[in-house]
A and B are shown apart, each in its own frame.
Chain A
Amino acid sequence: MEYLKKYPKLFQWLFLLVVFFALCFAIDVPETYKFIRGQAEFVKDPNQSVYFFLGKEVRYYAFDVFWRLPPLLGWLPIWINDSLFFLMNEWMPMEFWNEDTQEFKTRPILLQISRNLTAFMTFLIELIREILLGGLETIVAFTSWDFIDAYPWLELPGLPWTIVAAGAAILSYKLSGKGLALFAGLTMIYISIFGQWKPSMQTLSFILVAAPLSFIFGLGLGIAAYKSKRVEKALYPILLVMQTMPQYAVLVPALVLFGVGDHAAVIITMVVAVPPMILLTILGLRAIPPEVIEAGRMSGCTNWQLMLKVLIPTARRDILIGVNQVIMVCFSMAVISAFIGAKGLGFNLLLALNQLNIGLALEAGLCISLIAILLDKMSLAWANKQTDYFGNLTFFQRNKNVIFFAASFVIGIILAYVGTFIFKGSFNYLFEIPHNKGISTADFWNKGVDWIFDTFFVYIKAFNTWLIQDVLQPMRALYLRMPAVATLVLAVGAGYLIGGIRSALVVAALTLFIALSPWWDRALVTLYMATFGVVISCLIGFTVGTLCFQNKKSAAFMLGVCDIFQTFPSFVYLIPVMMLFGITDTSVLIAVIVYATIPATRYTIEGLRSVPVGLHEAATMSGVNKFQRLTKIEFPLAFPHMMLGLNQTIVFALFMVIIGAFIGTEDLGQYILKALSDKNGAGIGLTLGICVAFIGLIFDNLIRTWVEKRKKHLGIA
C-alpha cells in the first residue's frame, strides 16, 4: 500500500498493461483469420462481407469486432477517388478557347485550371533547364515551331559547365568563404567529369523553380498566420499532418490532378515544402522582441512598413533557415518524384536500382549526396551571414564577385570555343560532358559488390536468416496477434495517463481512424518494423550521443556528421543496404536504423549540452564523480529533450519504412507504391498517407505532452 501511495503513476501503468495482456489472452485468434497478401482484397470472394455506403461498395473479411474492427471507413478512399475524378472530369464544364485548334472546346473548369497551371510550371522548368543545358522550347513557347525552323540559331545554347561551376564557387565564396568555395567547385567538377551533368542540372532546375515558389507561398501564409489567430488555427492541423506524412504518399493524388512529369512533381513538391516554411516564418516572427515591434510602431510605421522594414528583416535568420528547409525538402522531393516521372538524378537512381545496377546507383547517389550537402551548407551560410557595411569600400571591392563571375563567364565561353577545336568530331568536354560519357566507376563498384557477395555471402545469408526467422517473424506475429480492442485500450490508456482526457480523446480518434480503415493489419506491420528500427536506433543513438558528449571535440564532430547525414534524401540510404543485403526486410530495417539513429544521436548530444553550466559546477563542488554527474544530473535534465529525439526518430523510421516498400515490404508503403501505378489509386494513396501520418501523430502527441509536463515539472520549459 505504501508503494501505491508513493508511485501512483507506476501502478496505473501496471494496471493498464495487465488489462492489455488480459485482453490479448482472452480474445482468441479467429480460425478464419490470416494476413492478407497481395491484392487479395480486390478479388471478389464469397467469404467476404459487403456493405454499401454513399453508393460505394466495400468488401472485407468480417471478424469478431473485438479481434478486428470492420472497415467502416472503407468507402473513404473510393469516395475521395470518385470525387476527385468527378471534380476533374465533370464538374462545371466551360468553354475555353484552344490556341492550337483555333476553336472553343468544352472542358471542366478544374481540368482547365490544372492544365494551365501545369503548362506554366512546365514553361518555368524548361526556361531554367534551357539556360543551364540549352534547348529550344522556351523560344517556341513565345513563337512557334515554324519560327524556330526558320531561325535555328535562336536555340538557347546552354551554359558551359565551367561557368556554372565557377558561379557556384563564387557564390559559395561570397556566402561563406574559401572552404565552401573549394567544395562547391570540386563538387561541380566531379559531377561533370563523372558524366552526371545533365541529370544534375535537371534536378537543379527543378529546385530553382520549386524552392522560390514554396518560399513565397510559405512566407505569405506564415505572415497571415502570424497576423490572424483564425488563419493559424485553420493551418495548424494541416501543418501537423504534413509533418508526419510520408513524402511518398502525396505523390499519388498529384498524379490524378496534374498528370505525370516534372510539372506535377513541382506542384506537389510545393505542397510538401510550404509547411516547414510556414512554421519557421511564424517561429521567427514570434521570436522578435516585443520592444522592437513597439519601436517600429513608435517610429510611425504603417502596418506594411512594419512588416517589410522591421519584422521581416529582424526575423531574417529564422526565415532563411526556413529557406534552407525548403531547399532540402525540394531536393529530396526532386529525387522521390522520379516515381511520377520527374527527370534528373532521382530518375537515374531509380532506374539503376530497378536494374539492380548498384554501381550506377552508387554514382547517382553520391552525386545526390554531394549536391545535398552543398545546397545545405550554402543556404545555412546565407542564413548565418550578417550584413556588413560596404559604404566605405571601393567600387572593385564592392563588386568583386560580380566582376569575377563576368570574367569566368568570358573565360568559360572562350574555353568552350577552344574546345570545339581540341575535341573535333567527338564531344566537346569543355562545354558539356554528356550523360554516361564521363568517367564511370560503376563497373568497379559492381565488381566490388560481387566480390563482397562471393566472399561474405555465407555470413550475410546466415545473419539474414537468423534475423528474419528468429527475430523479425516472431515479432511480427506478436504484433498481428494483438486484438484491435486491446491495442485501442493500450493507446487510449496511455493517452489518459500521460495527458488526461484531452490526450486520450485525440489518441482514440487517431487510432480509430486507422482501425476503421481497411488496412489495420498493414498498419501493424508498419508499426512492427518502425518499432524494431526505433528501439535499435535509440539504443545506438543514446549510447553514441552520451559517449561523444564526454569530449567537446567529439560532440561537435558527431553533430557535424549528423548534419551531413540528415541532408541526404532518404532514398539514398537504400543503395548501400541493397548492395550488402539484397532485397530483403533486413535491408529495409538496416536503412531504417541508420536513418533513424541520426535524430536519436543529435538530440542526445543537444539535450546533454543544454544542462546549465551552473549545475555542472554545483555538482562538481558537491564532489560527484563523472558517472554520478551523468546519471544524477545530466540524464534527468536532458531526458525530456532526448524524448523529443525519440519523437523525431519515430517519424524518421516511419518515413524509411514506407520508402522501404520499394525494396518490397508488406506494410502500408507497399500499398502506396501500388497506388502509384493504379489509375484509381489517388484516394487509396491519400488515405494510406494519412494513416501513416496518424501513426506518427499518436506518438507525437503522447511524447510532446509528456515532455511539456516533465519540463514544467523540472522548471526548464
Chain B
Amino acid sequence: MSETVIKCESVYKIFGENAKKMLEESNGNVDAKTFQEKGCIVGVNNASFEVAKGEMLVVMGLSGSGKSTLLRCISRLTDATGGKIFIEGQDLLELNNKELIELRRSKMGMVFQSFALLPHKTVVENIAFPLQIKGTKTEESINRAMEMVKLVGLDGRENYFPRELSGGQQQRVGIARSLAVEPDIWFLDEPFSALDPLIRKEMQDEFLRLQEKLQKTIMFITHDFDEALKLADRIAIMKDGIIEQLDTPANIVLNPATEYVRKFTEEVPREKVLIIEDVMDTSSNDNLGDLKVSKDEIIENVAEKILTQEKIVAVVDSGNNIVGSIKPSKIIDTVFGGRKNGS
C-alpha cells in the first residue's frame, strides 16, 4: 500500500451544547438515542479509516447519515468533537488558523453540491479566486484559470457570469475552481446530485477522465449507490453517523457486512460491477479449455464468450500467466443466483 494521505482515528462529531463533555463521559460508546434524549445530535460516530495517495474513497449514505459532516470534519469546516485526523501526517485539529488557511491554499480543493459560485464574478474570475486569495499576481492567476477553463471544456464561456450557465456548466466551473491551486487532496460533496440524469452521467465520465489524468487523493460524497460503484476505489457506507462497511465495490456487492448494506446491493446488476478476479476459482485446475480471459475484465463484457464454452475457462493476469479458472456455470450463478443468501 502506498503512503497514507488522510487518516482518521475514531472521529466523532456531536452537535449540541454539552457535546464535548458528554462524549468524554461516554468513553467512546456513543449511543445516538441516549444522546438525543439529552439534546445532542450525533453526526459522525467513531469513524476510523485511511485514504491512500491517489485513491478515491467514496462515502455513500442517505441524507442525514453524516457523510457530509464527516467530510466537513476532515476539511475542518467544522471542528470534530473527538478523535484525531491526520493530513499527510499533520494533526489537523492541532493546526492554528493561519496554518489551516495555508493548508487549504496549498493542498485542498473542494466541490459543492449547489456549486457555490460567487455570483458577482465571471467564470474565469471564479476559477482564479483561490489563486488571488493566495496572493498570486492577477495576470498569472488569470492565465492559470484559463488553462483550467480549457481543462473542463468551457472555452468561449470564460466571461459569462454563473447566472448565465446551466447547472452542468456551473459545476464544471466549481470543479475548475477547486483544481486551480493544484491541490493534492480533492473533496467532492455530492457534486453531481443537483444535475439531470443525462448530464450527471456525462459529468461522471468527464470526472473519471480528469482523475485518470490528475491522480488526486479523493474523498467523494454521494447518496447514489450506482454512482459510488462506478467511481470508487473503495466505498464507505454510512448510516446514522456510523460507517457500516468500508471496502472495495466488489467486496461490498459480494459480501455485504450488514443487513442495511445488503439492501443496497440487492438491485445491483453484478455483471456490471464485478470483474472475473472476484468470482474466479483460484485452486489449480488442469482441465482448462483454450479460451483465456483477463482477470480484470468486467463480467458483462466476457460473459457471452465464457457461456458458449463447454470447458472451464482459464483466467490470466496481465503477463498472460494463468492465475485461476472459471466455470461457465459460475457466471450464471453470479448473475442470477444466490442473491437472497449472499454468495
Which of A's residues lie within 8 Å of B, judged by CB?
289, 291-292, 294-295, 297-302, 305, 309-310, 313-314, 316, 386-387, 389, 391-392
Q: Which of the residues B104, B120, B122 comes within 8 Å of A299, measured between beta carbons?
A: B104
Contacts known (A314-B119, A386-B161); A301 close to B110, Cβ less than 8 A: no
- Please indicate the chain B residues that have their CB under 8 angstroms from the CB of A298 in the complex: 75, 77, 104, 108-110, 178, 187
Q: Quick check: B133 and A292 within 8 Å, CB to CB?
A: no
21 A-B residue pairs with Cβ-Cβ distance under 8 Å, sorted by A, are A294-B72, A294-B110, A295-B117, A295-B118, A297-B104, A298-B75, A298-B108, A298-B110, A300-B102, A300-B133, A300-B181, A301-B133, A305-B133, A309-B133, A313-B121, A314-B120, A316-B120, A386-B161, A386-B163, A387-B161, A389-B159
Q: Quick check: A295 and B110 within 8 Å, CB to CB?
A: yes
Q: Quick check: B130 and A299 within 8 Å, CB to CB?
A: yes
Contacts known (A300-B104, A310-B118, A313-B118); A295 close to B133, Cβ less than 8 A: no
A308 to chain B, nearest CB (A): 11
Question: At the interface, yes or no: B330 with Cβ under 8 Å from chain A?
Answer: no
Q: How far is the CA of A40 from the CA of B144 in the complex (A)?
A: 81
By secondary structure, the A interface counts as helix
Within 8 A of A (CB), among B63-106: 72, 75, 77, 101-102, 104-105
- Please indicate the chain A residues that have their CB under 8 angstroms from the CB of B121 in the complex: 313
Q: How far is the CA of A294 from the CA of B178 in the complex (A)?
A: 12
Q: Quick check: A389 and B114 within 8 Å, CB to CB?
A: no
Q: How far is the CA of A309 from the CA of B132 in the complex (A)?
A: 11
- Please indicate the chain A residues that have their CB under 8 angstroms from the CB of B291 in the complex: none
Contacts known (A294-B77, A297-B104); A314 close to B118, Cβ less than 8 A: yes
Q: How far is the CA of A563 from the CA of B109 in the complex (A)?
A: 46
- Please indicate the chain A residues that have their CB under 8 angstroms from the CB of B129 in the complex: 299, 309
- Please indicate the chain A residues that have their CB under 8 angstroms from the CB of B110 in the complex: 294-295, 298
Closest to A305 in B: B133
Question: At the interface, yes or no: B134 with Cβ under 8 Å from chain A?
Answer: yes
- Please indicate the chain B residues that have their CB under 8 angstroms from the CB of A392 in the complex: 159
Closest to A301 in B: B133
Q: Quick check: A313 and B114 within 8 Å, CB to CB?
A: no
- Please indicate the chain B residues that have their CB under 8 angstroms from the CB of A310 in the complex: 118
Question: At the interface, yes or no: B192 with Cβ under 8 Å from chain A?
Answer: no
Q: How far is the CA of A291 from the CA of B171 in the complex (A)?
A: 13
Q: Which of the residues A302, A386, A387 comes within 8 Å of B101, measured between beta carbons?
A: A302
- Please indicate the chain A residues that have their CB under 8 angstroms from the CB of B104 in the complex: 297-300
Question: At the interface, yes or no: B62 with Cβ under 8 Å from chain A?
Answer: no
Over the window 112-137 of chain B, the binary record of Cβ atoms lying under 8 Å from chain A Cβ atoms (1 yes, 0 no) is 11111111111000000110011000
By size class, the interface of chain B is 20 to 34
B40 to chain A, nearest CB (A): 20
Q: How far is the CA of A302 from the CA of B96 in the complex (A)?
A: 12
Q: Which of the residues B75, B116, B160, B161 comes within 8 Å of A291, measured between beta carbons?
A: B116
Closest to B113 in A: A291
Q: Quick check: B118 and A291 within 8 Å, CB to CB?
A: no
Over the window 30-70 of chain B, the binary record of Cβ atoms lying under 8 Å from chain A Cβ atoms (1 yes, 0 no) is 00000000000000000000000000000000000000000
- Please indicate the chain A residues that have their CB under 8 angstroms from the CB of B133 in the complex: 299-301, 305, 309
Closest to B103 in A: A300
Contacts A289-B116, A291-B115, A310-B118 aside, 18 further interface pairs with beta carbons under 8 A come to: A291-B113, A291-B114, A294-B77, A294-B110, A294-B112, A294-B116, A295-B110, A295-B117, A298-B77, A298-B187, A300-B105, A300-B134, A305-B133, A313-B119, A314-B118, A386-B161, A389-B159, A389-B161
Highest count of chain B CB atoms <10 Å: which of A289, A295, A297, A386: A295
Over the window 138-174 of chain B, the binary record of Cβ atoms lying under 8 Å from chain A Cβ atoms (1 yes, 0 no) is 0000000000000000000001110100000000001
Q: Quick check: A313 and B120 within 8 Å, CB to CB?
A: yes
Q: How far is the CA of A9 from the CA of B249 in the complex (A)?
A: 59
Q: Quick check: A389 and B108 within 8 Å, CB to CB?
A: no
- Please indicate the chain A residues that have their CB under 8 angstroms from the CB of B134 in the complex: 300
The 10 A-B residue pairs with the shortest CB-CB distance, nearest first, are: A300-B105, A299-B130, A295-B116, A291-B116, A298-B110, A300-B104, A291-B112, A313-B120, A292-B116, A389-B159
Q: How far is the CA of A294 from the CA of B104 in the complex (A)?
A: 12
A193 to chain B, nearest CB (A): 41
Q: Which of the residues A295, A387, A391 comes within 8 Å of B112, measured between beta carbons?
A: A295
Q: How far is the CA of A392 from the CA of B181 in the complex (A)?
A: 27
Q: Quick check: B130 and A300 within 8 Å, CB to CB?
A: yes
A366 to chain B, nearest CB (A): 39
B146 to chain A, nearest CB (A): 13
Q: How far is the CA of A314 from the CA of B129 in the complex (A)?
A: 14
A17 to chain B, nearest CB (A): 40
A528 to chain B, nearest CB (A): 48
Q: How far is the CA of A313 from the CA of B120 in the complex (A)?
A: 7
- Please indicate the chain A residues that have their CB under 8 angstroms from the CB of B117 in the complex: 292, 295
Q: How far is the CA of A298 from the CA of B77 in the complex (A)?
A: 8
B73 to chain A, nearest CB (A): 13
A383 to chain B, nearest CB (A): 13
Q: Quick check: A292 and B108 within 8 Å, CB to CB?
A: no
A317 to chain B, nearest CB (A): 9
Q: Quick check: B116 and A387 within 8 Å, CB to CB?
A: no
Q: Quick check: B114 and A289 within 8 Å, CB to CB?
A: yes
Highest count of chain A CB atoms <10 Å: which of B72, B77, B113: B77
- Please indicate the chain B residues that have their CB under 8 angstroms from the CB of A299 in the complex: 104-105, 129-130, 133, 177
- Please indicate the chain A residues that have their CB under 8 angstroms from the CB of B72 in the complex: 294
- Please indicate the chain A residues that have their CB under 8 angstroms from the CB of B181 in the complex: 300
Q: Which of the residues A297, A305, A313, A316 comes within 8 Å of B77, measured between beta carbons?
A: A297
Q: How far is the CA of A451 from the CA of B119 in the complex (A)?
A: 59
Q: How far is the CA of A302 from the CA of B130 in the complex (A)?
A: 11
- Please indicate the chain B residues that have their CB under 8 angstroms from the CB of A313 in the complex: 118-121
Q: How far is the CA of A261 from the CA of B328 in the complex (A)?
A: 100
Q: How far is the CA of A295 from the CA of B72 in the complex (A)?
A: 12
Q: How far is the CA of A310 from the CA of B130 in the complex (A)?
A: 11
B205 to chain A, nearest CB (A): 25
- Please indicate the chain B residues that have their CB under 8 angstroms from the CB of A291 in the complex: 112-116
Closest to A390 in B: B159
- Please indicate the chain A residues that have their CB under 8 angstroms from the CB of B120 in the complex: 313-314, 316, 387
- Please indicate the chain B residues that have their CB under 8 angstroms from the CB of A309 in the complex: 129, 133
Highest count of chain B CB atoms <10 Å: which of A291, A305, A387: A291
Q: How far is the CA of A678 from the CA of B122 in the complex (A)?
A: 59
Q: Which of the residues B102, B108, B159, B163 comes within 8 Å of A391, measured between beta carbons?
A: B159
Q: How far is the CA of A387 from the CA of B289 in the complex (A)?
A: 70
Q: How far is the CA of A300 from the CA of B106 in the complex (A)?
A: 9
Q: How far is the CA of A173 from the CA of B114 in the complex (A)?
A: 35
Q: How far is the CA of A311 from the CA of B324 in the complex (A)?
A: 60
- Please indicate the chain B residues that have their CB under 8 angstroms from the CB of A294 in the complex: 72, 77, 110, 112, 116
Q: How far is the CA of A403 from the CA of B108 in the complex (A)?
A: 46
Closest to B106 in A: A300
Q: Quick check: A300 and B109 within 8 Å, CB to CB?
A: no
B167 to chain A, nearest CB (A): 14
- Please indicate the chain A residues that have their CB under 8 angstroms from the CB of B159 in the complex: 389, 391-392
Highest count of chain A CB atoms <10 Å: which of B116, B119, B159, B160: B116
